[in-house]
Homo-oligomer: A and B are copies of this chain.
Amino acid sequence: MITGQHYIGGHWCGEPQSTNTSFNPAQNAALPWCFAEAGQAELHSLTEQASAAFALYRYVTASARADFLDTIAAELEQRKADIVSSMVLETALTAARAENELGRTCNQLRLFAGELRQPANDCNLPALPERQPLPRPALRLAKMPLGPVVVFAASNFPLAFSVAGGDTASALAAGCPVIVKAHNAHPATSELAAQAIAAAADKTAMPAGVFNLVHARQHAFSEALIRHPAVKAVAFTGSEQLGMHFQRLIWQRPEPIPFFAEMGSQNPLFVMPQYLAQHTESFASQLAQSVLNGCGQFCTRPALVFLPKAAQAVKAQLITLFSQAQAGAMLTAKIASHYRSGCLALQQTAGVSLLAQGQGDESGCYTRPRLFACSANTFMQQSVLQQEIFGPATVLIECTDVTQMQMLATILQGQLTATVYATETELATASALLQELALHCGRLIYNQMPTGVEVCAAMQHGGPFPASTDSRYTAVGSQAVQRFLRPLCYQNFPSQNGDTA
């Protein structure tokens, strides 16, 4: 059932290598699936096929693209059992999480399909031949797809930000063929999703090459793909380090192209004293849940919690919750090792104390949750506290008052989200803090944890650098399609509504 092959131009191809196996992080053992490794030949055929597909796919009507996306969702649902079990094996995430993420992925595809079925909102200005001093020609502003899009799948959302995830769905909705570089942490799950897309493309008679999947462990392949002249946009979800490496490669291209990287975030929470006094227990349990869920492997988990110095009750509760938590398997040994070395660096930072850590062994992919604390002054002085540690850790920053919180907010880096917990009375007096936070984030939240990203027309999942490479775009929600479209003005054509070109 798992071929281990690439999917290029409508065909499965490539020789699975016995060295490229999938991996079970919970068991710390190889899985029986092997995968092919792309090289020069695949680079050539992928870019040829995606370009050839673009010449056809750009004319596929919006309603046919909508049918394609809906059919992908249906095909994913048909493969639900296989996808869920493969994802559980490859990621150590729970079956419930996998099912939930599959549902979200399908909803996401259907959201874009629904948008495509709305009437196009081209701006249409009729000619004004009598206007003085000069007549106005008829003008129509339409949107053009950019061309073949490369998608780098995320490690932490094997479905919703991966092969059939938001980047692919929005690029296909825009009219762009897609080349997905599968994430090495879940190649079998990636292939199953690709099988669903391939089946949907067949059923809806989409051009060969409209969707392609490639496996490559060597960075050199990804780099060559990014540099290729046939590629017209790139979407990426992952670390700032790799995201900026890819960004620099794109800046070296003779033709610069749009690159949207969502590079994670610390998602600060600012908690007001009265709110905390009234909701000590529920806040502590919500925070622990938001940090610990899925081993903290969410770009929106809260890693910085600014709270009143006097809040000893919540601190005690959090210490209990983190101490009782069990070590869990992260997605890969590399991610787990980064997490552990990040925590170690924090623990060794002057002024930072480790308040609690979870139970169990930390070898291989397994890591223990950790709760840290520091003073406002330490936060100001130690820049290491503004480096994201991907995983189940959070830092409590003890502040004297709201004014100090507001001051700390001014030095925050760009964030995906920022959250204020406050009573309605406190909220009314926190406007300066909110106004400051608005400068630093893409989503501003009141009294809710930042994990859980609603997929809808009003979502912004992006933010000021380094949360993303371009704060004007989003990776989630219907506006995500704008990353892959450009305006084209038609002037003086006889039928302004006709599909002249």
Contact = CB atoms under 8 A, between A and B. Distances in A.
Interface of A: 100, 123-125, 133-134, 136-137, 139-141, 144, 146-147, 247-248, 251, 255-258, 424, 427, 431, 434-435, 437-439, 441-448, 452, 454, 456-460, 462, 464-465, 469-472, 474, 479, 482, 485-494, 500-501
B488 A141 contact: no
B125 A446 contact: no
A499 B477 CA distance: 23
26 contacts: A123-B457, A140-B458, A141-B459, A144-B438, A146-B471, A147-B439, A251-B251, A431-B501, A434-B501, A435-B501, A438-B501, A442-B488, A443-B488, A443-B489, A443-B490, A443-B491, A444-B488, A444-B490, A444-B500, A446-B491, A446-B493, A448-B491, A464-B486, A472-B482, A472-B486, A472-B487
B447 A492 contact: yes
Contacts of A490: 443-444, 446
A459 B501 contact: no
B487 A456 contact: no
A487 B460 contact: yes
A460 B488 contact: yes
Contact of A459 (B133, B144, B147, B489): B489
B458 A134 contact: no
Contacts of A258: 470, 472
Given A491-B446, A501-B435, A459 B427 contact: no
Given A123-B458, A141-B458, A458-B124, A438 B134 contact: no
A460 B141 contact: yes
A501 B257 CA distance: 33
A10 B121 CA distance: 42
Contacts of A146: 471
A148 to B, nearest CB: 12
A281 B448 CA distance: 70
Contacts of A124: 458
A495 to B, nearest CB: 10
B489 A457 contact: no
A114 to B, nearest CB: 14
B458 A494 contact: no
Given A125-B457, A140-B458, 15 more contacts: A125-B456, A136-B454, A139-B454, A251-B251, A257-B465, A438-B501, A441-B488, A442-B489, A444-B488, A444-B493, A444-B500, A446-B490, A446-B500, A448-B492, A460-B489
B125 A500 contact: no
A364 B197 CA distance: 64
B125 A458 contact: yes
Given A139-B456, A146-B471, A445 B501 contact: no
Contacts of A137: 448, 454
Given A472-B482, A500-B434, A459 B139 contact: yes
Nearest to A474: B487
A413 to B, nearest CB: 9
A158 to B, nearest CB: 20
A141 B438 contact: no
Contacts of A479: 141, 487
Contact of A494 (B125, B437, B446, B469): B446
A492 B137 CA distance: 46
Contacts of A493: 444, 446
Contacts of A501: 431, 434-435, 437-438, 444
A490 B435 CA distance: 12
Given A123-B458, A437-B501, A458-B123, A446 B492 contact: yes
A123 B458 CA distance: 6
A166 to B, nearest CB: 15
Q: Which of A248, A424, A465 has the most CB of B within 10 A?
A: A465
A445 B491 contact: yes
A402 to B, nearest CB: 14
A452 B456 CA distance: 40
The 8 closest A-B pairs by CB, nearest first: A434-B501, A460-B489, A139-B458, A141-B458, A443-B489, A471-B486, A438-B501, A460-B487
Given A489-B458, A489-B460, A469 B256 contact: yes
